[in-house]
Amino acid sequence: MQLFRNVILRFDKLFLLLAIFSLFFYECIAQISGQFNWGEGYSERPIPTYLLIYFNLFLLYAIAIRNIWRRPNRSGIFPIILVGGLLFRAVLIPAQQIQEDDVYRYLWDGKVFAQGINPFKYAPEEISEFKKLRIQDPEQFKIRYSEQDEKELLLLYDLKWENDTSLIFHDRINHPDVPTIYPPLAQYVFRFANFLQPDSIVALRLVFLIFDILTLFFIVKILEVLGKSRNWAIIYFWSPLILKETFNSTHLDIIGVSVLTGSLYFYLRYKFTLASLFLALGVVGKLYPIILLPIYLKENIKYLINQEKVKTFWKAISGNLFVFTATIAFFYFPFVQIGKGAFEGLKVFTTYWQNNDSIFALILYFYENILGLNTEFTYQEANVYISYDLASLLSKATVALILIGTVIFFLLRKEKNVEEKNRLWSLFVIMGLVFLLSPVQNPWYLNWIVPFLCVFPYRSWILLTGLIGLYYMGFYFDYQDKGHLESYLPWFEFAPFYLLLTYDYFMKKKARLNLTQEN
């Protein structure tokens, strides 16, 4: 008994209490998740109750971060962070998803790929409709499908009807008329989960847990390289956003987040070949990180010049570029035999999706309502036909120009203060802008920023990881026939963030100015 007391005394009592209360609230989420059955009782779903629990979790999380901010090197905390985070995950892994259904597409993709069939080739709806087309319009069927296509569709049709679970999960796939949008690395992960157990959400979450632990490992290593306390890893490992969107909603972003975090670690260690490899894995995990490549090349060039390795300059740069492009080509190669069809789902997503956005919505409003550009842009030549809403097209072009301009700015800029001398700073800013300017700002897209917050613990960004949970209130408004209120939600999610971010910026600028004047 005395030994047990001595062990307890070694740990921080406040963080033990925070872990215990957090575990209680995660158990509450697991319990109420049973009321979120797919296709049932939408108007009775306890979304406000879920959000109340979520914000209580965020409050406990914020208290923990605040205490680490005051004493980052205090001992006895990291074991609590580690064990507490694992227990939170253990509670959520068997729970029902709350308001999310992307996982059914993941499971289907893994099942299709496991049969040796290209998951980008057929939309799920085709599996259900091809027999009807063959009977009702045999001429069109022959034009559309080859004999090999028909064999594959028959195989997938039988697979859909393999058992009750398979049938139910296939019918739950959202946007069934659109082929999959998820890149190759994700497809291999889905296939591995299918190998472990087909049609198992728990199996997929356990695979995601591997990437999650790998992310924590790389975050701790990054903090060590930067001379920061590993306790800052709590910003990732206890994040209610990460836990909800990865282990309840079961979103695949953890795959890309994990390999990107590994890339950042090797980048900091000047191991640019490995950094390029992991960056490429991030791209085939979910495309976003490709925008970071120019900054990686700049740092690689600076390093070679500082090390006086001018003779091997082009060899090193071209070698790392080869690793990057070859890795992407290697992963895409098994899927591109269907040509541009491999990118059909991605094309639909980038053309039509818009959801929960902030800055993009304002840019679109400017073009659409201020300038009155409500016409359709069309382009037709040979077999190419493009039709696009002009305001939306110009808005996305504006976003692209801002992002390209930001990358060029960091390529040309010399660091002027201590914060910017942290070599992750420019990468953090660019990835932050990718999220903030996106026409789709789903909560799980913010997961990509959370590892950066372990190094740059900005109050504004941490606050946003909590406020973005209000996104789920939109479902409640919709179910209660109050859909008109949904458009106001982004203001409550993002306005406090932008205000606090602006305040922090000017306060830091003022502090730097005062420091300069004193010197």
Rg for the chain (alpha carbons), in Å? 24
Specify whether 311 is located in the same domain as 252. yes
In this structure, the answer to whether residues 88 and 211 fall within a common structural domain is yes
d(C-alpha 241, C-alpha 258), whole Å = 15
Tell me what the pLDDT averaged over the chain comes to.
Answer: 89
User: Residue 8: its pLDDT value, please?
Assistant: 47
Identify the pLDDT of residue 76: 86
- Pair (475, 372) in one structural domain: no
Residue 510 has a pLDDT of 76
Please report the pLDDT score of residue 383 as a whole number.
57
Same domain, 288 and 379: no
Verify that 316 and 453 share a domain, yes or no: yes
pLDDT value for 435: 95
What distance in Å separates the CA atoms of residue 501 and residue 456, rounded to the nearest whole number?
A: 13
CA 316 to chain centre: 31
Does residue 136 belong to any structural domain of this protein? no
Are 414 and 375 within 8 A, CB to CB?
Answer: no
pTM of the model as a whole: 0.92
- 371 and 310 share one domain: no
In a domain, 92, yes or no: yes
**Is the separation of the CB atoms in 469 and 58 below 8 Å?**
yes
The total of structural domains in the chain comes to: 2
Residues 222 and 312 in one domain: yes
Q: What's the confidence (pLDDT) of residue 3?
A: 42
Residue ranges in the chain whose pLDDT is less than 70: 1-11, 308-313, 342, 345, 349, 351, 377-387, 415-421, 514-519
The contacts of residue 347 (CB under 8 Å, 6+ apart) are: none
Is there a single domain that holds both residue 313 and residue 452? yes
Instruction: Give the C-alpha separation, 132 to 138, whole Å.
Output: 9
Q: Which range marks the domain in which residue 381 is found?
A: 357-424+435-439
For every residue of 195-209, DSSP letters joined together read HH-TT-HHHHHHHHH
447 and 310 housed in the same domain: yes
Distances (CA, A) of 366 to 212, 354, 355, 394: 40, 16, 17, 10
Last residue of a domain, one of 369, 404, 439: 439
Are residues 447 and 507 part of one domain? yes
For 428, residues 6+ apart whose C-beta sits below 8 A from its C-beta are 449, 452, 455, 456
In this predicted structure, what is the pLDDT of residue 244? 97
Q: Which helix (H) or strand (E) holds 388?
A: strand 384-389
Q: How far apart are alpha carbons 54 and 472 in whole angstroms?
A: 11
Residues 6+ apart with CB under 8 A from 273: 319, 320, 323
pLDDT digits (tens, 9 = 90+) for 410-455: 998 876 655 555 889 999 999 999 999 999 999 999 999 999 999 9
Question: What pLDDT is recorded for position 9?
Answer: 45
252 and 367 housed in the same domain: no
